[in-house]
Amino acid sequence: MVDTPYGAVRGRYERGVAVFRGIPYAAPPFGPRRFRPPEPPEPWDGVRDAGSFGPTAPKPPYSEAFAHYLSDPVVPGDDCLNLNVWTPEPGPAARLPVLVWLHGGALTRGSSAVPVYDGHAFARDGVVLVSLNYRLGVEGYGLFPDAPANPGLRDQLAALRWVHASIAAFGGDPDRITLAGQSAGAISIGALIAAPQAQGLVRRAVLQSGPPEAAERDKVRRMVRRLATRLKIPATAEAFAAVDRDLLLRTQAEVGRLSSPVLGGPAFGIVVDGDLVPRDPLEALTEGDAARDVDLLLGWTRDEYRLWLVPGGLMDHVDRLGPVALAGAMARCHCGHEVPRGYRALHPEARTAEIVGQLVTDHLLRRPLHRLADARPGSSYVYEFAWPSSLPDLGACHALELGFVFDTGDVPESRKLAGEGGPRELCDVMHGAWVRFAATGDPGWQSWDDSRPVRILGDGAPYTAHGPRDRELALWTADGAHESVPVGGAPPARGTELASAVRRLRRTMRARLH
């Protein structure tokens, strides 16, 4: 039993560590609180049982194509702003390092209840692991004229404040908090460590497969307007709050199929709001003084894009589209023909889909993470996860590394991506690096400097490569802005023609992922 600021909670001992699940860090975000910043939970009398995961935030299910690879359990209920704690030694005397986990899922899916994220191994190895739920989709990242922006990010900040104030009672050290996340979770971390309101709450940060970024406000507004048009309501928080929740989720799922990581499109995202996010997070972290004392561990997988293109057979279709797919990728990446031509010259045997995928991966992930590391030499560590899944065509895809990070490769949900036979040695290396980083700020290899060291974690022993992506990244200009023209003799795809090509590819991807 542990006392929190709002009441006592009772956990369970499981395999030698104490586990507390479903602890509320904020009040249920519905009724008059819907689309509003989080508020403290109501205190409770007696002892609250913390034996089960709390409700998950409202979210649509993954499409069948993605559900084949990704698990996303649903726990019903309104009290979805909750968190979980795994600790080897409850009590204020322990002062152990703390790792706070933010799940991914494109800010529309995911939860702390995904079995891959079980925190037992971290607690076993001396790190208090905290995972949490936050509002998703239009509930968490819709942009309305009558409600504050970024309520999902505000949820995460509220949870982080709860951890800072409460974790000592669970055996954690509030001065050694590492904020870690993957994909949308990592993007959220970039915004949080750059936020003035979060300064002093985090000592270290792990950004896996997600850079600091702010979405275009108009892009988010278009997503809300499309939802409003289908629902035949005004694009206001007041109108959305009156819509049946299940209908809203179904509509969100349908509208969301128009966007993709590869070709963009309207989507939910963190926006500059003049308050919690006063400026673009990447600019704040690279050009300003935000979080200068925060150590960084930055990583990606070698073949991120394969999780975006393999489901639904999209790899083969992108190959068939050829120049149309390349035109769409150039529009997505704001680059000219010389960039994909350079990739083709460097990788002459690569398929069109592989060129498209690497272009988008470098634009979305590697270039901004390199920029962040360049701004923080000496306190940044960079790695690439390069072990390929045993399942066909997935390679070292997005999210594959998570079973290795959490040492949960044996659970069925990890095997949906990894297949059978993930190497135990790689799990020890990957999980061990995160544990060491949370404890000491040093994952066990050379920090970033002018030689651009990247730790490669794949088959065989880990090794350090210096500038392994430099040839590709050198093809981009500093700002990445070029005239968008096609590759290799294809007729110019400008103006409406380019837009038509991009729409055609988006429609095809949407149909195949339905």
Query: Which are the catalytic amino acids?
Result: 183, 304, 398
| H or E element at residue 97 | strand 96-102
Pairing relation of β-strands 453-457 and 380-385? parallel
Structure tokens at 384: 């690439």
Which burial class, exposed, middle or buried, applies to 7 when counting CB atoms under 10 A from its CB (0-12, 13-18, 19+)?
Answer: middle
Question: Distance between CA atoms of 80 and 87, rounded to whole angstroms?
Answer: 22
Structure tokens at 440: 């000491």
| Residue listed under structure tokens 């800072």 | 164
State which amino acid sits at residue 433. Answer: A
Q: In a 3-state reduction of DSSP, which class is residue 415?
A: helix
Sequence-distant (≥ 6) Cβ neighbours of residue 150 within 8 angstroms:
140, 141, 191, 270, 271, 273, 276, 277
200 contacts 228 by C-beta, under 8 angstroms: no
Other Cβ atoms closer than 10 A to 10: 13
* CA-closest candidate to residue 240, choices 171, 322, 139, 148: 139
| Residue listed under structure tokens 């497969």 | 209
CA dihedral for 418, 423, 424, 427, sign (positive or negative): negative
Sequence-distant (≥ 6) Cβ neighbours of residue 366 within 8 angstroms:
300, 469, 473
Q: In a 3-state reduction of DSSP, which class is residue 146?
A: coil
What is the edge-to-edge ordering of all strands in the sheet holding 47-49?
Answer: 2-4, 7-10, 47-49
463 contacts 453 by C-beta, under 8 angstroms: no
Which residues partner with 100 through β-bridges?
130, 179
Structure tokens at 494: 């400008």
Which burial class, exposed, middle or buried, applies to 401 when counting CB atoms under 10 A from its CB (0-12, 13-18, 19+)?
Answer: buried
Question: Distance between CA atoms of 295 and 259, rounded to whole angstroms?
Answer: 33
> Distance of CA 365 to CAs 211, 239, 242, Å?
6, 36, 38
